[in-house]
Chain A
């Protein structure tokens, strides 16, 4: 008889079927068997069934992070697929998409297969590979999308670097369309952004740091929205950070252009003020922007201009961040803080409610990247996240499953915590009682 898990008494929130009610969820094998008020009674006779009390907690389709950097192969001292997948599960993610800027670059079918195998061995959150747009992410020749997709890649991206050539991006959008995958776009106009260390503005002028203007992102965003219009390809704009980008995405969506967009938790919670004192944990690309940008991004998450929230989880060794600001690498870790940051800055202030949070962290990522999950319907893959939306906790990086410690939230008390993460009917993470 198949293994079974019964989640009892939780608030089951599943936007994919407009469900938000107190109910039980029965998982048999790797699938959802039943969801409803009387499920517990009907299931009581099942042998060896594990029961998890979810009263006071939210039971949700598992979160999916379409944008993280797991550093393997190449920088295993910083993160591995296994440590990243465990960190993901601890953060409530049942699946993550691994960006291809590894060393060597994930730009061929063998490399894609390696990521999948390491993910399977990790046996935590599912790991879906994203293949490179260009060979070696050098921005010259297209990588072999067809073979990579056949091997299991779910999207293509040169993330970490912009696709400088408009022609290459156009071709990538057309070619990706053949295989029905999105092109995940790192929007950065390099001649404006190169050498920049933070948002361009008064603070960069005061601190004597080279600024990255909002236009460096916006120029590429509109270029690629226009190329999506030309080609019919699916452009997915990564880590949007400015009000101007939001307006451009809105413009594109109003015209039914095939554009989707993501925002990172740090861009809806922090401003460039965090850079004061040259804190390298506030250094990321795109940089933290202004309060006005944060407000625009929060509103865009609410109204759907921004489709989904993704972490851009970017672990770095502490030595790399413990240095002069301009020389420190970009990026922060996010898998284990994303839920709490989103609840603290979006749900707690009433900008969005819990069902919309789950839409942006689970249903939309599944839909946009055409991944399994994002639903608790009967027969769906049993990828489930149980979280406490009210729990307050202190961020202590040393307790993270990720090897990374680089977070600007260290020492802050945030609201919202994962209690249990179930991947394919198996418990991948359970918080200590």
Chain B
């Protein structure tokens, strides 16, 4: 077993730049598997993986499931409704039950920050964080990095601005850590009521106006604006949000250069992003989804003990793991 990443993938903050690069490099050979007619290799044959989703998710869950199945793992999806506290079993009991069933890996999505770490500290299985509260969403961060690297052929020096509700966004945190560790320049832009008060201490530039962000950036990663933020009083209305912070064709056209557009989905068309931007020539939003499967395959492979240098051959035969 190699432990290039340790037992778990809980976030990008604890990873080094070398570890992040390793994951991205390992994802490269896995991209090709999804382009085949028969999209399956035997790399994780016999491994059992539980996808434990305490929050509703389509994109991330399906992406993980495809990644697992294309590596021939046996997978079970558990959709636990609601918080573990409000009803039914506690998370610690869930953990103990999984342990008793001798699961190899657990992919967890949970509404509480720290839930993935909580689970990882209590079970021997590898734990992959598929989003914990407003803390981190490391696989999303990694697929964003891979998509940016595909386009710019590097990450160092690339200027990326994260636009929107950074305060409540686990995607934003994973992007900030991942990008800064890889040498990119990171900025955030959004209403101050949706930026953490301590944002200046997180090593990023802050733009109050989206026009300034567009003028500065090589790429925009546009966050979904949750409707409930308006009800909670963080912003007055979605309409005003779109008028002040919405990324529109008109605003992008004023920029001197082409700007790559990323969005972790699901999109609110006409709120944080206009349709002609989402569907426009510089949008890589669907490339992100494609890369998501490859990145997750790479993580499953590495955490299961797969040797990075054998990833290429792993996709041909049984591989060494």
For chain B, the count of residues having a C-beta within 8 Å of the partner chain is 27
Q: Do B90 and A323 touch across chains, with their CB atoms under 8 A apart?
A: yes
Given the interface pairs A206-B202, A208-B113, A209-B113, the reply to whether A324 lies near B118 with Cβ below 8 Å is: yes
**A211→B198 CA distance, assembly (Å):** 11
**A278→B134 CA distance, assembly (Å):** 13
**A208→B114 CA distance, assembly (Å):** 8
Does A76 interact with chain B (Cβ within 8 Å)?
no
One digit per residue, 1 when the CB lies within 8 angstroms of any chain A CB and 0 when it does not, for chain B 58-96 equals: 000000000000000000000000011100001110000
Q: Do B112 and A322 touch across chains, with their CB atoms under 8 A apart?
A: no
Contact of A326 among B112, B196, B201 (CB under 8 A): B112
User: Which of A201, A209, A278: most chain B CB closer than 10 A?
Assistant: A278
Does A63 interact with chain B (Cβ within 8 Å)?
no
CB neighbours (8 Å) of B296 from chain A are none
**A208→B90 CA distance, assembly (Å):** 21
Does A325 interact with chain B (Cβ within 8 Å)?
yes
Does A41 interact with chain B (Cβ within 8 Å)?
no
Q: Do B91 and A205 touch across chains, with their CB atoms under 8 A apart?
A: no
Given the interface pairs A278-B114, A324-B118, the reply to whether A207 lies near B199 with Cβ below 8 Å is: no
Given the interface pairs A208-B170, A327-B112, the reply to whether A322 lies near B92 with Cβ below 8 Å is: yes
**A213→B197 CA distance, assembly (Å):** 10
One digit per residue, 1 when the CB lies within 8 angstroms of any chain A CB and 0 when it does not, for chain B 185-196 equals: 000000000001
User: Which of B13, B114, B196, B199: most chain A CB closer than 10 A?
Assistant: B114
Shortest distance in angstroms between B139's beta carbon and chain A's nearest beta carbon?
A: 16
Does B132 interact with chain A (Cβ within 8 Å)?
yes
**A224→B136 CA distance, assembly (Å):** 40
**A209→B135 CA distance, assembly (Å):** 7
CB within 8 Å of B: which A192-209 residues? 200-202, 204-209
Does A319 interact with chain B (Cβ within 8 Å)?
yes
Q: Do B199 and A205 touch across chains, with their CB atoms under 8 A apart?
A: yes
Contact of B198 among A202, A277, A323 (CB under 8 A): A202
CB neighbours (8 Å) of B85 from chain A are 323-324, 327
Chain A: interface size category: 20 to 34
CB neighbours (8 Å) of B84 from chain A are 323-324
Shortest distance in angstroms between A329's beta carbon and chain B's nearest beta carbon?
A: 11
Q: Do B112 and A325 touch across chains, with their CB atoms under 8 A apart?
A: yes
CB neighbours (8 Å) of A206 from chain B are 13, 173, 202
CB neighbours (8 Å) of A204 from chain B are 196, 198
**A209→B114 CA distance, assembly (Å):** 9
Q: Do B136 and A211 touch across chains, with their CB atoms under 8 A apart?
A: no
Q: Do B113 and A325 touch across chains, with their CB atoms under 8 A apart?
A: yes
CB neighbours (8 Å) of B170 from chain A are 208
Shortest distance in angstroms between A281's beta carbon and chain B's nearest beta carbon?
A: 13
Q: Do B202 and A205 touch across chains, with their CB atoms under 8 A apart?
A: yes
**A415→B126 CA distance, assembly (Å):** 40
CB neighbours (8 Å) of B114 from chain A are 207-209, 278, 324-326
CB neighbours (8 Å) of A278 from chain B are 113-114, 117-118
Shortest distance in angstroms between A194's beta carbon and chain B's nearest beta carbon?
A: 11
Shortest distance in angstroms between A195's beta carbon and chain B's nearest beta carbon?
A: 10
Given the interface pairs A278-B117, A323-B92, A324-B112, the reply to whether A208 lies near B202 with Cβ below 8 Å is: no
CB neighbours (8 Å) of A201 from chain B are 197-198
Q: Do A326 and B198 touch across chains, with their CB atoms under 8 A apart?
A: no
Q: Do B198 and A205 touch across chains, with their CB atoms under 8 A apart?
A: yes
Q: Do A319 and B113 touch across chains, with their CB atoms under 8 A apart?
A: no
User: Which of A210, A277, A324, A325: most chain B CB closer than 10 A?
Assistant: A324
Q: Do B118 and A202 touch across chains, with their CB atoms under 8 A apart?
A: no
CB neighbours (8 Å) of B118 from chain A are 278, 323-325
CB neighbours (8 Å) of B110 from chain A are 324
Shortest distance in angstroms between A78's beta carbon and chain B's nearest beta carbon?
A: 17
CB within 8 Å of A: which B235-255 residues? none
**A23→B106 CA distance, assembly (Å):** 66
One digit per residue, 1 when the CB lies within 8 angstroms of any chain B CB and 0 when it does not, for chain A 307-351 equals: 000000000000100111111000000000000000000000000
CB within 8 Å of A: which B108-131 residues? 110, 112-115, 117-118
**A391→B69 CA distance, assembly (Å):** 60
**A206→B177 CA distance, assembly (Å):** 10
Task: Considering the complex, give the chain A residue whose CB is closest to the CB of B132.
Answer: A208
Given the interface pairs A200-B197, A202-B201, the reply to whether A324 lies near B136 with Cβ below 8 Å is: no
Task: Considering the complex, give the chain B residue whose CB is closest to the CB of A197.
Answer: B113
**A210→B135 CA distance, assembly (Å):** 10
CB neighbours (8 Å) of B115 from chain A are 324
Q: Do A208 and B134 touch across chains, with their CB atoms under 8 A apart?
A: yes
Q: Do A319 and B199 touch across chains, with their CB atoms under 8 A apart?
A: no
Given the interface pairs A200-B197, A202-B202, the reply to whether A326 lies near B133 with Cβ below 8 Å is: yes
Q: Do B91 and A323 touch across chains, with their CB atoms under 8 A apart?
A: yes
**A128→B114 CA distance, assembly (Å):** 40
Q: Do B91 and A208 touch across chains, with their CB atoms under 8 A apart?
A: no
Task: Considering the complex, give the chain B residue whose CB is closest to the CB of A277.
Answer: B117
CB neighbours (8 Å) of A208 from chain B are 113-114, 132-136, 170, 173
CB neighbours (8 Å) of A202 from chain B are 198, 201-202
CB neighbours (8 Å) of B136 from chain A are 208
CB neighbours (8 Å) of A207 from chain B are 113-114, 135
**A contacts, CB < 8 Å to B:** 200-202, 204-211, 213, 277-278, 319, 322-327
Q: List 14 A-B contacts (CB under 8 A).
A: A202-B202, A205-B198, A205-B201, A205-B202, A206-B13, A209-B113, A209-B135, A210-B134, A278-B118, A322-B90, A323-B84, A324-B114, A325-B114, A326-B133
**B contacts, CB < 8 Å to A:** 13, 83-85, 90-92, 110, 112-115, 117-118, 132-136, 170, 173, 196-199, 201-202
Other than the given A204-B196, A209-B134, A324-B85, 7 more pairs (CB < 8 A) read: A204-B198, A207-B114, A208-B133, A210-B134, A278-B114, A278-B117, A324-B84
Q: Which 8 pairs of residues, A with B, have the shortest CB-CB distance?
A: A208-B135, A278-B114, A324-B112, A205-B196, A208-B134, A208-B113, A202-B198, A327-B85
